[in-house]
Amino acid sequence: MSYSLKPGVVTGKDYKILLKAAKEGGYALPAVNTVGTNSVNAVMEAAAKNKADVIIQFSNSGGQFYAGKSLEDAFEAKVIGSVSAAHHIHLMAEKYGICVVLHTDHANKGLIPWVEALVGYSEVHYEKFGKPLYSSHMLDLSAEDIDFNLSECERLLKRMAPIGMSLEIELGVTGGEEDGVGSDDDIGADNPLLYTQPDDCLRAYQLLSPIGHFSLAASFGNVHGVYKPGNVKLRPEILKNSQDLVQETCSTGDKPLDLVFHGGSGSDKQKISEALSYGVFKMNIDTDTQFAFAKAVGAYVEENAKAFKYQIDPEDGTPYKKLYDPRKF
């Protein structure tokens, strides 16, 4: 945990302090996808217990779920749910005494309006409180032509940078599907789309770094979800080659690219460590935390099966309210 920073949602210069500390310390900030107050509070509790900084992020469907699935306007629900979640985290992060980077996950071409709407809320929040509502957003246009990808990232970053926001971009396709973005058809160790080209990373750096802060999810064979051995072939050396090319071409310091690791579930620990050594500061977590949540709830339900069938034991009249109360599980 960075004790020199005030607890709460960190943005702008404070976000860069956390990022720099991670890269220099050889670790990555866990970026956990959440869907409601139960998962949000669990992440903050874990961060507080471990005296750690953390990134809390929402996908578009996570924001919609936060708002409640009965709202008829799905787009409005995605926006309002994400805004509601952000206000909750701004308030509670201070109480938990932790530094939180607040972020939204993959947004493809069709979800650009969602990101733009959230930036609008951050602009209003900045006018009132001197900081944006969100620390950063991700624009994942990796499935589009690179010219369109980078031009849209440039356009959005020009709007975000003045209020201290960061933009995460993706070059190369992270295999698998994540909340409606991507496809399982991309998976396969021999798929060239899964490997980012260093020249593209250089191009992104030269275009975006003069505008504001951006981070890069570079694909090196990683995929979302968990798949059988042999389907995933990580090549972290792509990250090193990209860093070296930017450093040599632009005469920067060491590891100029701020890199993000998507799709790490089931990855070899040695490959993860190697990726961190090349400047990865953020590692996304979703599949594993979903399973941990489901496994624990499933075990509780199995252990207390009667309480999920009867309010009162049909044989001896024992009340089960204390067992099926959602606060118990």
Cα 243 to Cα 46, 106, 199: the distances in Å are 32, 23, 10
State how far the Cα of 327 lies from the Cα of 325, in Å rounded to an integer: 5
Compute how many other C-beta atoms are within 10 angstroms of the C-beta atom of residue 321.
10
Catalytic residue among 14, 53, 105, 258: 105
State how far the Cα of 304 lies from the Cα of 306, in Å rounded to an integer: 6
8 Å CB contact between 19 and 283: no
Q: Is 4 helix (H, G, I), strand (E, B) or coil?
A: coil
**Which is nearest to 216 in space by CA: 189, 243, 191?**
243
Query: 105 an active-site residue?
Result: yes
8 Å CB contact between 107 and 139: yes
Cα 170 to Cα 31, 141, 291: the distances in Å are 16, 7, 26
Catalytic sites, residue numbers: 105
